[in-house]
Structures are given as C-alpha cells and as structure tokens.
Amino acid sequence: MEYTFLEGRSVVVVYLALLGIVFLRAQATYWIGRGLGAGVHRSRLGDRLGDKLERAEGAINRYGPPAVTVSFLTIGVQTAINLTAGAMRMRFVRYLIAMFAGCLMWAAIYTFGGLAVMTAWVSMFTQSPLLAVGALAAIAGLIGIIVWRRKQRAVAAHEV
C-alpha cells in the first residue's frame, strides 16, 4: 500500500499517521473477530466444542500476546492473528498492550523504509541466494563487531 498523501511530511508526522492507521486497522480487525467469536459461542458449534473452546481461549490468552506483537513484522498473517485474538476473546488489555507494541514496530518499519529494504533483499535472494545470505551474514557480522567494540570500550573505561 502506498501512502502518497504523506510525501514531503516530517518523519514525526509520517510515523504518527502510520501508527494511527495500523492502530485503527488492528482494532477494527480485533472487534470484528470479537463479533464473530460471540456468534460462535451462541451457536451449536460453540455448544459442541464446549470445554475445548474454553481451553483454546485460555491458551490464546496465555500465549497469544507475543504472537500478536510479532504478527506486525509479517505480511499476510497479521490480520488473521488479530481476527483470531478477537474471535477467541483474548482479554482486551492483554491484546491492547501486545497490539500497541506491534503497531509501534510496524509504523517504524514503514516510516523508515524497512519494507523497501526487505523487498530488495528478497529480490536479491531470488537472483542469488548465496549472495543474499552472504550479505545478511556480513551485516550481522558488522553489527557483532560494533557491539563487541563498544563493550571493549566500556570495560576499558571502567578499568581507568
């Protein structure tokens, strides 16, 4: 999806606009799921599932929030997870915290061109998987060296 109406705006405006967009979209998806879930609970299917449905809801409440947060780093899975969180009646506060953390990440990725970088890497991978994996390893190695050097400097500063 292109956000041409944000062209030429400051980074803060772009980030906040995208944060608002993803927040409203995720909330709408969750509440549609809540409506669907309420329908299932009142149906014969809900009666037949009984305890199984309640156990599944318990598992979603317990283990679902990290899945909600991480879903914002995916393409195509995010909507399904938000809908499922609603349909399985994940407690709203737990969902809201997990969703907001995901929204913050999603808005940052879109604001700072992360999707363009990811698309370029996938394109490189389709042309030469070895080169793409090598580039990823080189970036990871560079980050590792930077972190290691900073730790060495911190240790040296404490020794003085």
Looking at every residue in the chain, the average pLDDT score rounds to 86
- Asked if 107 and 18 touch (Cβ cutoff 8 Å), the reply is yes
Residue 134 lies in a domain: no
Q: Compute how many other C-beta atoms are within 10 angstroms of the C-beta atom of residue 154.
A: 10
The string of pLDDT tens digits covering residues 133-159 is 998 899 889 989 998 999 999 888 887
Contact yes or no for 13/105 (Cβ under 8 A): no
Could you tell me if residue 114 is inside a domain?
no
Residue 128 placed within a domain: no
> Residue 47 belongs to what domain range?
11-106
Helix H segments across the chain? 11-42, 44-49, 51-71, 78-87, 92-111, 114-127, 129-159
Residue 61 lies in a domain: yes
Would you say residue 159 lies in a domain? no
Residue 71 lies in a domain: yes
pLDDT tier, 51 (very low <50, low <70, confident <90, very high otherwise)? confident
Residue 5 has pLDDT above 70, yes or no: no
Q: What is the pTM of this model?
A: 0.66
Residue 139 included in any domain: no
If one counts the domains in the chain, the total is 1
80 inside domain: yes
